[in-house]
Structure 1
Amino acid sequence: MEIRCDALLFDVDGTLVDSTAAIERTWRRWAAEWSHDPDAIIAVCHGRRSKDVIAQFVAAEDVARATARLDELELADLAGIVAVPGAPELLAGLPARAWAVVTSGSHALASSRLRAAGLPLPEVMVNGPDLRHGKPHPEGFLTAARLLGVDPGRCVVFEDAPAGVAAGKAAGAAVVAVTVTNPASALAQADGGGGRRRRWVPGQRALPGRLPGWLGLRGFTDEHEGGQRCRSTSRPRSSSAATSRSSWSSMPPRTRT
């Protein structure tokens, strides 16, 4: 099977960077300050805009102030943030206009976490606070595709959270679910809906610098009609073979000869 695409659209937290510990620390601190159950918040916070989560727990008139406080806590805590293994190699091999970041976080927060993980900043970054609708609405991915000048249906979305998977599907993109933050069972919707959407989950034998079977992307090339080609070479592994924390990597891109 081959997925032809013109661009890759990445979430940040749990997809390019492993920031789970920092995210949960800051939400727990915020919950303590606002007298809320931290576990209830963490259960629904991943992959969504802070203000949308906070609106579930505080009065409407307090949302802006509470969100500003969380933003302050998040920017102050970058400890332990690292790149998901394989992400540096994949991004280093992509043309600048062939990828973008679509994240629920602010530009300042996403940029800080990418830098903390030693990853490059994209030319196109779409941030949740700048949108009318957050994930699972497709606005973010549709905006990124428009800014890159590509058809959303010719994009591949990489996501780690159910809200992001749903947003990618709604945008009409192919969706690759990455099980860094959530188990495969929580991302099963990436298989549904027909069309070009498929789900890949990481297996236990992903090796740095070579193609791991779970990802299914053979390479990123510019060999057809000026676009890119993402080739799938294997069927997805079953969820029983997946790990809750794993890596992903890619073979380097080929160029036309």
Structure 2
Amino acid sequence: MNPARARAGKPGDTLAPVLRDVRAVVLDTDGVITDSARVHAAAWKTAFDTFLRAHPPEDPHQGRPFDERDDYLRYVDGKPRPDGAAAFLVSRGLDPLAETVREVAADKERLYTGMLREHAVDAYPGTVRLLRALRRRGVPLAAASASRHAGELLTGAKVLDLFDTLVDGGEAARLDLPGKPDPALFLEAVRRLGVPADRAAVIEDALAGVEAGRRGGFAVVIGVDRTAGPGTGEALLRHGAHLVVRDLGALVGTGTGTGTGTGTGAAR
């Protein structure tokens, strides 16, 4: 990757104080860099709802459809597909047999891949603005994702060259890295950047992801709440975020501003 092209931030841009002393930043892909979390959620919903109709739980209440906001955030967001499938099935009182998990995960992958072919996925403008401001200051950047599609998404959104390294689901499998909330994926990313975790920041939108950042000893863990739903920001804080924002552009200001107006929470 060649990040040099991306150093064209506005000369007057200033970083929020929470990021001014970090020496590297690791960002999750889906829902943080690219608007792809909604596609994942839609594919999971179709896969889970189809399975529940074919294999209804004994308790009718547990057979309720997959919720694209609450169930997605709680059980599957940020996790490897098998882990997410197993967690949701358990929540509905179903036995997560290996064969069942593989069936649901494979169906979700098929659906997701088809959706990507039909719908373009863009990078969030506020995220791009933050990335360019960090680049202009020479801060090394890594993208990290449990998805094997991360490179494809970043390329399609025309932001892959903003990053010094990418650790995706394929790399995680090759290196046998455990999934979030284990911090292994993020620790591998900062290892490649040559920066210790306690001098780096993690930016995540998943509960499992912010928990992984806190477990990994990262200096700053920033949660991104794009749902605007009740309780989501508070949940991110409980799971390990030091600060929650709705748009990463809030971390970039102009002139002497700090750009932190939409954040909640406090640094530890």
Please, what TM-score do these two structures have when normalized by structure 2?
0.67
Q: Determine the structure 2 residue equivalent to 1:243.
A: none
Residues 161, 181 of structure 1: 8 Å contact kept: no
Q: Deviations over 1:57-102 (max 9, x none)?
A: 2412333343233222212212252211222233345279811111
- Residue from 130, 146, 151 that aligns with 1:104: 146
Question: Given the superposition, is the C-alpha separation of residues 237 and 22 from structure 1 closer, same or farther in structure 2, using an over 3 Å criterion?
Answer: closer
- Residue from 6, 21, 44 that aligns with 2:75: 44
**Which structure has more RCO (C-alpha within 8 Å, separation ≥ 6)?**
2
* Unpaired runs of at least 5, structure 2: 1-16, 54-64, 90-95
How far the C-alpha of 1:151 sits from its partner, in A, is 0.6
- Residue from 205, 226, 236 that aligns with 1:160: 205
The residue matched to 2:180 in structure 1 has which SS?
coil
CA RMSD of the aligned region, Å?
3.3
Greater than 6 Å deviation, 4+ residue runs: 216-219
Residues 27, 41 of structure 1: 8 Å contact kept: no
Residues 50, 67 of structure 1: 8 Å contact kept: yes
Residues 214, 221 of structure 2: 8 Å contact kept: yes
Q: What are the within-5 Å matches in structure 2 for residues 79-228 of structure 1?
A: 79=119, 81-92=121-132, 94=135, 98-106=140-148, 109-121=149-161, 122-128=163-169, 129-130=172-173, 131-173=176-218, 174-181=220-227, 183-189=232-238, 198-202=242-246, 212=250, 215=251
> Are residue 59 (structure 1) and residue 97 (structure 2) matched?
yes
How far the C-alpha of 1:235 sits from its partner, in A, is 6.8
* Unpaired runs of at least 5, structure 1: 220-230, 241-257
Question: Given the superposition, is the C-alpha separation of residues 26 and 97 from structure 1 closer, same or farther in structure 2, using an over 3 Å criterion?
Answer: same
The residue matched to 2:181 in structure 1 has which SS?
coil
Aligned length: 214
The residue matched to 1:118 in structure 2 has which SS?
coil
| CA–CA distance in structure 2, aligned partners of residues 150 and 41 of structure 1 | 34
Residues 124, 144 of structure 1: 8 Å contact kept: yes
The residue matched to 1:177 in structure 2 has which SS?
strand
| CA–CA distance in structure 1, aligned partners of residues 29 and 40 of structure 2 | 12
The more displaced of 137-146 and 42-51 is 42-51
How far the C-alpha of 1:180 sits from its partner, in A, is 1.5
The residue matched to 1:111 in structure 2 has which SS?
helix
Residues 18, 180 of structure 1: 8 Å contact kept: no
The residue matched to 2:125 in structure 1 has which SS?
coil
Residues 157, 176 of structure 1: 8 Å contact kept: yes
More helix by share: 2
- Give, as a single letter, the amino acid of the residue that structure 2 aligns with 1:127: D
Provide the identity percentage. Answer: 28
How far the C-alpha of 1:123 sits from its partner, in A, is 4.0
